[in-house]
Amino acid sequence: MLVLERLWVIAAFVFIASGLVDSLDGLLARHQGRVTTFGAFLDSTLDRLAEGVILGAIGITFAQDGIDWAVGACFVALTASFLVSYARARAEGLGIPGSSGGLMGRPERLVIVGACMFMGSVGDVTPVLMGVLAGLSLITAGHRVALVWSASDGRGE
């Protein structure tokens, strides 16, 4: 809602605060010995939901401003972000280690999205950063696919 109201700096602070809480909840659960399989699943699922909502809200602001290429960049960034996460999860499910490589893991994506929000009212910085996020996330998704292909000897196993 803050992004849609273009309260960029406040939205960025809320985004960063929620990211810190998200990273601390897993740490706290491990410290208290309360880690569960469902908890890990729920955390990952809610992470994807949050990323989708934020990128969607930023995309809506681009659409309202008539910046069509930036709306497309949001769609690409969102899709690539999900592919990056899915490729890692699927590879781990198949027992293929080392599938978390690439430039744009979740922490790196969060940094760029946070920068997008902080710079939301500064010229064309936010659309350009969204384009960077989209491109690097696509490269990362491709890199993870290549890692899994290599680990499976490219035999489609």
Point out the residues that are catalytic: 47
As a whole number of angstroms, the longest Cα–Cα distance in the chain is: 50
Rounded-to-integer distance, Cα 48 and Cα 107, Å: 13
| Residue type at 104 in one-letter notation | M
Compute the radius of gyration of the chain from its Cα atoms.
Answer: 17
